[in-house]
Chains A and B, each alone.
Chain A
Amino acid sequence: MRLFCIAVAIACAVTFSITLLGDRLEQLFNSQAKEVIAADLVLQSTTELSDEQKDIVDSFSLKTAETLTFQTMANASDASKSGSSKNANELSNEEQSNDNETFLLSSVKAVSNAYPLLGKLQVSNQLYGDTQAIQGVPGKGEVWVEDRVLNELGLSLNQYVNVGEASFKITKILVYEPDRGNSFYSFTPRIMMNIEDVAATQIVRPGSRVKFRYLFAGEDSNLKNLLQALEPNLQLNQEFITIDAANQTLANTLNRAYRFLHITALIAVLLGAVAAALVSYQYANEMTYQYALLRCLGLQGKRMIAAVAIPFLVFSFIAVIIGLVIGGVAHIFILRSLGDLIPETLPAASIKPFLLSAFTALIVVISFAWPFLNKLLKTAPKLLLNRTEIQQQPIIFTVMAMLLGLSVIIYMGTQELMISVYIIAVLFVFVLLAYFITRYFIKWYSKYSESKSVSTKLTARSLKANRRMVVVQVVAISITFFSLALISTIRDDLVASWQSKVPDNAPNIFAINLFENEKQSFLDKVKSQGLEHSPLYPVVRGRLSAINDLPIREYASKETERQDESLGRDLALTWNMQLPKDNKIIQGTWHTEAQDQNTATVSIEKGLAENLEITLGDKLSFTVETQVVEAVVTSIRSVEWESFTPNFYMIFYPGVLDGLPVSYMGSLHLDKQQRPILRDFVKQFPSATFFDVDFLLNRIRGIAQKISYAVETVLYFALFASVLVFISIEMILRKNRSYSTAIFKAVGADTKLVQKVFRTQFILIGLIAGVIAYLLNLVISFALSNYLIEGQFVFNPKTAVLCLVLAPLLVLAAGFVSIQRTKKIPVKKLLTES
């Protein structure tokens, strides 16, 4: 019973610490994802909230902040220009105003003091210098600006810029704002000011084109209530923004990473369940005679059930409590081991991990332990007379119960039916394979040993004698090592694929607004500096205005629930005969001359197509300046938004956009030492705009690393659980082993021979398990690399070492105690046992 208690406690502890970690990390990741909107919830509006709406907001105790965004021309203030050598002749015609001043169309964001509610602004005190996170917003009379503002207005820090009727001191360079979204190609540079300064600019008046954003953060229930209270009062120009609509880059990375973490945890949980089953098997075997005796003495019916179930339930309950405590302590250690990778104060855990681990423990107990204990209920008193009966219990019930439990646990872990079915199918094939391979190996080895030394013969016979347990051992060990190898393979692949999305030389500078006549000199310059860069893509700025001749306002009205964040702004339209590298055609066919030369056609991004319910053959109309372009959808593409290369919602067949104002965009990589080159670019291509996305890249890299650590931690649990499986099997075999050892010794075998027999057995068991694990891992990795991950199949020597060397060594180490015990087993106990 003690052992059963330990096994269930450990299974529960494993589950608890993993789900607790998972839950808190999930909340952390969610809050990080929420940084993308700088709040838990955002209400966006083109007008100020009505008094009624403000009252509603005030009635909830939430943290709030406001931002106000508008576009305006900014220019260098006179105070800054004194000493500036710039004169009118150096300015391009476009930039000239009547009094020879440089004006720059800027996007001004006025923020209240509490902004941002989630996430932090990143600023720099020097052009292209190191960035730092900062708490707070520009003070009154100050602005923080993007580097482009300084470059294009010829200003430097601590000089003044005019916005509307007011002049502001530039105190910092704004590098990153969490809620800017993934459109790096915002066409206007940012000036951030304090919201209290807006009035002084005299720009915002009734009817001005401005965007108000009301940011809220606080308790989930409060937010939900606010959402419900405000929703009926919303005007047409007002809408809530949730995380889902926000940054896809981060969301996708996190989603994939978290699912992976879950599957890893699942393996540890399953191993825990196997350990619990093994210990229960052992317990049931040990207790059979005791219950047979109780039966024999007349115990029956409910009292018999109570006799079996009550101690079992009591110990299960104690085990769950112990498990929760151990799991909690383990969780603290994991957090410590993750160190500064996660913030000091993680969000508090929800009730979910407690319920999940208790529920998992319940499933383990019911489907993995109870079937064995159920046998006790059916214990026939005749067992007392004939011990052989014990092995003839039907196992169908046990197998069915375990399969059911397995399915539930797997489904709980994956939350997806198909993936669960795949995992169960793989496990089933695995167990069958392991079973047959082990049986055949033992058969072959018995034959092989006939002409060999006595230790080989005895090893073969011992394997054969314990073949049932050996099969269980091999299955448990091989499944452990298979999982470990697979996790290690997938993890390496996954981390590599995340990192390949954001490799060290990923483009970190985006250049937009290059004109046709600058195209060649830009490419030449990039080439002469030896920089890595993407091709230049033509860009026509246009708005989606109608779908199948239905104006977009009607098509995507509130009633139709067709919405996409791309609707309210200009899209970067491009054309290309070549499908971009990371894009995949989901429906329809990519541009071909045969198909497209007589019709204006376009390929659309999958997400947008889904959100707007656009299907193949739909006619899309775009407004570009005053002209309208129409095209028929001939393909729907998936786009890897995570890849830091230019991506497009719409790719037209070449020629469709001819005659429209076009500019070019591309990306390039500058490492730290090369960053000063950017100033040359800015000078040489004054009309172009350069975006620095280094900070975002580092953020994504950071997440990949965190996930990788989290997975590693969970891996330790899986390993721990697998050792537990070993120990359980050793406990089951202990009696058997002592008995054979005593008999071997009684008939004249010395300890050395007995130990050799044991050692060889352990190594062979480890080796068969390792070979099975390795072969299956090879097959699965091969399939994965071919069908899912789309990578080249690479021979991974790490998994070979893991399976073929570490597995036998670990079994040997786990068996060390058993081997050592052979020294102490006295033969004389055979005389007292009858």
Chain B
Amino acid sequence: MLAGLDIPTTGSIELFHHKLEVLSEDERAVLRNQYVGFVFQAFHLLPGFTALENVMLPLEINDDAQAKEKATSLLERVGMSHRNNHFPTTLSGGEQQRVAIARAFSTNPPLLLADEPTGNLDSNTGAKIIDLLFELNQEQGTALVLVTHDESLTKRCNSCFRLDQGKLHSDMPHDLSCVLSENQ
């Protein structure tokens, strides 16, 4: 909901001064393209697109003339430059997630949402992916919102919230905590 993939039935969400619930699906898409990067648990790369093309996708939608160069350098940054022209089906899970991370950072978004980024990976690969995510987060100065079941990961975050039975708890007393209704 933070990314405008869905809108609240009650209440309001404001993202970079835009009230999401009053925007149309397309307007929210534009907003996402400008401000939000995504990393999914299931990677969600387009199977018919090469690694490079997948990373270029948000840049091209943004009409970025430097799409190819930026995508190439990002793939290099995530250690995938040797597999630029490979299709996702020929990549391992860890490699696919690297490409997905490169794609998420490609537009240099101020906000990055990662939904269980290590959920489909073994612990070794998962750890490497998380390292990469945090490194890039540092380098690009992105706000990273991470959803995870891995308690150890929470230690690397600045603030942490726990969603339990539909209720959001703040683990740090000084942070905001809010209660979400059961049906959300």
Q: Interface on A for B, CB 8 Å cutoff? A: 387-388, 391, 454, 457-458, 461-462, 464-466, 739-740, 742-753, 823, 826-828, 830-831, 833-834
Determine whether B79 belongs to the interface, using a CB cutoff of 8 Å to chain A: no
Determine whether B160 belongs to the interface, using a CB cutoff of 8 Å to chain A: no
A395 smallest CB distance to B (angstroms): 18
Q: Interface on B for A, CB 8 Å cutoff? A: 5-6, 25-27, 29-30, 32-34, 38, 40-42, 44-49, 53, 57-58, 60-63, 89-90, 103, 107, 115, 119-120
Contacts of A830 in B (CB 8 A): 5, 40, 42, 44
Q: Are A746 and B61 in contact (CB under 8 A)?
A: no
A252 to B47, CA, bound (A): 58
Q: Are B62 and A746 in contact (CB under 8 A)?
A: no
A279 smallest CB distance to B (angstroms): 22
Question: Which of A747, A823, A828, A831 has a CB less than 8 Å from the CB of B32?
Answer: A747
Contacts of A461 in B (CB 8 A): 48-49, 53
Q: Are A753 and B61 in contact (CB under 8 A)?
A: yes
Q: Are A748 and B53 in contact (CB under 8 A)?
A: no
Sample of 20 more A-B contacts, CB < 8 Å, known A747-B38, A831-B5: A454-B60, A454-B63, A462-B48, A465-B47, A739-B46, A743-B57, A747-B33, A748-B34, A748-B58, A748-B62, A748-B107, A749-B61, A750-B25, A750-B30, A751-B25, A751-B26, A823-B25, A826-B5, A827-B5, A831-B40
A748 to B26, CA, bound (A): 8
Report the nearest A residue to B50, measured CB to CB: A461
A457 to B61, CA, bound (A): 10
Q: Are A834 and B29 in contact (CB under 8 A)?
A: no
- The 8 A-B residue pairs whose C-beta atoms are closest, nearest first, are A465-B48, A748-B33, A750-B26, A747-B58, A834-B42, A828-B5, A827-B5, A454-B60
Contacts of A826 in B (CB 8 A): 5-6
Question: Which of B49, B63, B107 has a CB less than 8 Å from the CB of A465?
Answer: B49
Contacts of A465 in B (CB 8 A): 46-49
Q: Are B26 and A834 in contact (CB under 8 A)?
A: no
Q: Are B48 and A464 in contact (CB under 8 A)?
A: yes
Q: Are A747 and B115 in contact (CB under 8 A)?
A: no
Report the nearest A residue to B68, measured CB to CB: A450
A753 to B29, CA, bound (A): 11
A608 to B34, CA, bound (A): 87
Contacts of B58 in A (CB 8 A): 747-748
B56 smallest CB distance to A (angstroms): 9
Q: Are B26 and A752 in contact (CB under 8 A)?
A: yes
Report the nearest A residue to B106, measured CB to CB: A747
A508 to B177, CA, bound (A): 101
A749 to B46, CA, bound (A): 14
Report the nearest B residue to A742, measured CB to CB: B44
Contacts of A454 in B (CB 8 A): 60-61, 63
Question: Taking each of A739, A740, A742, A746, which has the highest tally of chain B beta carbons within 10 Å of its own beta carbon?
Answer: A746
A387 to B89, CA, bound (A): 8
Report the nearest B residue to A467, measured CB to CB: B48
A748 to B104, CA, bound (A): 11
Q: Are A745 and B29 in contact (CB under 8 A)?
A: yes
B114 smallest CB distance to A (angstroms): 12
Question: Taking each of A391, A753, A830, which has the highest tally of chain B beta carbons within 10 Å of its own beta carbon?
Answer: A830
B87 smallest CB distance to A (angstroms): 9
What are 18 A-to-B residue pairs whose CB atoms are below 8 Å? A454-B63, A458-B57, A461-B48, A464-B48, A740-B46, A744-B57, A745-B29, A746-B32, A746-B44, A747-B103, A748-B29, A748-B33, A748-B61, A751-B25, A826-B5, A830-B42, A833-B44, A834-B42
Question: Taking each of B5, B41, B53, B90, which has the highest tally of chain A beta carbons within 10 Å of its own beta carbon?
Answer: B5
Question: Which of A388, A464, A744, A745 has a CB less than 8 Å from the CB of B90?
Answer: A388
Contacts of B90 in A (CB 8 A): 388
The answer to whether residues A750 and B63 also contact, given A464-B48, A828-B5, A834-B41 and a CB cut-off of 8 A, is no
A749 to B26, CA, bound (A): 8
A492 smallest CB distance to B (angstroms): 42
A749 to B107, CA, bound (A): 13
Contacts of A751 in B (CB 8 A): 25-26, 29
Q: Are A750 and B29 in contact (CB under 8 A)?
A: yes
Contacts of A827 in B (CB 8 A): 5
Report the nearest B residue to A745, measured CB to CB: B29
Report the nearest B residue to A740, measured CB to CB: B46
Question: Which of B5, B53, B107, B119 has a CB less than 8 Å from the CB of A746?
Answer: B5
